[in-house]
Structure 1
Amino acid sequence: MSTIVFVHAHPDDEGTGTAGTMIRAAREGHRVVVVYCTDGDPGDVPDDLAPGETVASRRRGEAEASAAITGTARVAWLGYADSGMTGWAQNHADGVFARAEVGEAARRLADLFDEERADVVVGYDSHGGYGHPDHVMLHRATLAAVDLAATRPRYLEVTMNRDLMRQLFIAATEMGMEGFDPDLRGDDGTPMGTPEAELHWAVDLGDDVMAKREALACHASQSDVKEMLSMPVEIFPLAFGTEHYIEPGRPAGMVRGWWLDHGVGQSA
């Protein structure tokens, strides 16, 4: 069995990105660990905050609830503040993740990888899917941490299949529904996700997609999550039923399969 460490920028990012993979890995007996680099403090303020409760504490509780569904054995926090979207006032605040020194953040992550004796680490693609400052920093810090780690874990990057997203957007538009155009420029000026030609793994979730939806629903204090959950239940598997990964160093070509069954460079 393997120990797999999933590194995410904010509470709820696992719900849209890797929750299905986490669920399957945990069910098969692997140790699943999730690291959140920030506490998500600039997120939406819930109407039902209890006296003394903060947005950060609510989101930590939501992350723990999600972990119970995904089978995650440990939820770890890297200790940085949320930088907010590009252009937000938080971008320039002290202690935000996007302003961290890469080497320092990488050292924190590498120490955690070594503590867990991580066999696999999952980070983000080079622009964090859509250019969010914290997502871009996560890519840089996680990549550096893998090089620092004594365990030398296998490394993958979760991303979105831009071509599939485009197909879904066109289909939704033709049916008179609202869709999301992946060719709109993200925070860093590039389209969303990664072209299919640059992907290595497509993990079809099967029935686990509805458990993924339950994990996402744990983060319902956030308006973007509420929006995603508002789509018809029967549509959710089309949008979120496959999780896509890049594996640097692997031969070109996207394989539909379970990457834990195959080592670096092995064919499916």
Structure 2
Amino acid sequence: MSTIVAFHAHPDDEALLTGGTLARAADDGHRVVIAVATDGVIGESEPTRLDELRASARILGVQRVEHLGYADSGHGPLLYPDPPDRPRFVRVPVEEAAGRLAALLREERASTLLTYDENGGYGHRDHVRVHEVGKRAAELAGTPAVLEATMPRDALDRLVRLTKLLRIPFGYDSLLYSPRSAITHRFDLRRYARQKQAALAAHESVLRGSGRSAAVFRVLVKLPAPVFGLLLGREWFIASFSPPE
């Protein structure tokens, strides 16, 4: 069996964007590894978010979790100064971060790397940097296959309409994510909906938050599994292949 490395920006992204895919890969006998760029913390490092990521990973069947050592860069208009103990992800040169990820890819002899599309999905600066760093790391390591997690814009339009009926406060930029014509892989993962939902629920500190994302998460983890599967039971990717150097 092969090894799949999923590269994510923050703890909780692994469940929301690729949870079904990771659970299926583990169920099929593949070795599954998560590399996370940041600890999801704006200020000085503390372990809660990474501990929650490890709990989520266990639910999904992931065998290893590695943090690249960077701080969350935030999503607002301001990019705050680096905390004293580590740099923000977007301030780190792509080549430096890619070197760290490439070392993991080589160590694991990864056959597939999961990253994000060129828009970083919904446009978070750390997600865009995951795309850039992941692409370069695959080139450095000679990883043969790269799958970029995304969502077709027309499917997202339908999802937004449905979430409004469920009174979930979900919003997005219609120019982000990807056109359907760019999608190369579509997986129906509704059979893993309970695992994906449980993995999302493992991020308890996010659920206790006061922002819009926290409100969305609180609704999602309480939905009946079939409804959760209807909303988030499919995952999409764009395939790209990186030639070995």
Alignment of 1:181-192 (within 5 A): 181-182=171-172, 184=173, 191-192=175-176
SS in 1 for 2:146: strand
Alignment of 1:33-182 (within 5 A): 33-42=33-42, 56-90=46-80, 92-93=81-82, 95-149=87-141, 151-173=142-164, 175=165, 177-178=167-168, 180-182=170-172
- Which piece of structure 1 moves more, 77-86 or 163-172? 163-172
Cα distance, 1:127 vs structure 2: 1.4
Letter in 1 for 2:6: F
- Closer, same or farther in 2 for the Cα pair 1:208/1:176, shift >3 Å? closer
The within-5 A match list for 1:204-215 is: 204-215=188-199
Distance 1:26 1:176, change over 3 A: closer
5 Å-filtered alignment, 1:166-245, equals: 166-173=157-164, 175=165, 177-178=167-168, 180-182=170-172, 184=173, 191-222=175-206, 223=209, 224-231=213-220, 232-233=223-224, 234-245=226-237
Q: Judge conservation of contact 1:160–1:192 (CA < 8 Å) in 2.
A: no
Residue 226 of structure 1 and its aligned partner are, at CA, apart by: 5.0
* C-alpha distance in structure 1 between counterparts of 2:72 and 2:30, whole Å: 30
CA displacement 1:23-80 (0-9 Å, x = unmatched): 111111100000010011129xxxxxxxxxx873111110110011011110001011
Deviates further, 215-224 or 111-120? 215-224
Larger radius of gyration: 1
SS for the counterpart of 1:68 is helix
Query: Which residue of 2 is the match for residue 13 of structure 1?
Result: 13
2:169 and 2:215 in contact (8 A); partners too: no
CA distance in 2 between partners of 1:130 and 1:110 (Å): 25
Q: Classify the secondary structure of the residue corresponding to 2:123.
A: coil
RMSD: 2.0
Gaps of 5+ in 1: 44-53, 186-190, 250-268
Q: Aligned letter for 2:91?
A: R
* Per-residue Cα deviation, 1:202-231 (whole angstroms, up to 9, x for no partner): 111122011100001101211324523414
Corresponding letter in the other structure for 1:93? D
Determine helix, strand or coil for the equivalent of 2:96: helix
Which stretch of the first structure deviates more once superposed, 18-27 or 164-173? 164-173
Residue pair 1:168, 1:179 contacting (<8 A) in 2 also: no
Distance 1:164 1:179 in 2: 17
SS at match of 1:207: helix
**Change over 3 Å in CA distance of 1:178–1:36 after alignment to 2:** closer
Q: Which amino acid in structure 1 is aligned with residue 133 of structure 2?
A: A
Letter of the 2:46 partner, please give it. A
Instruction: Report deviation, 1:240.
Output: 0.6
Mark the CA change 1:229 to 1:120 in structure 2 (over 3 Å): closer, same or farther. Answer: same
Report how many aligned residue pairs link the two structures. Answer: 230
Following the alignment from structure 1 to structure 2, what is the Cα–Cα distance between the partners of residues 178 and 152?
Answer: 39
Q: Quick one: structure 1 residues 221 and 172, their matched pair in 2 at CA, closer, same or farther if it must change by over 3 Å?
A: closer
Deviating more after overlay: 206-215 vs 234-243: 234-243
- Secondary structure at the aligned position of 2:204 is classed as coil
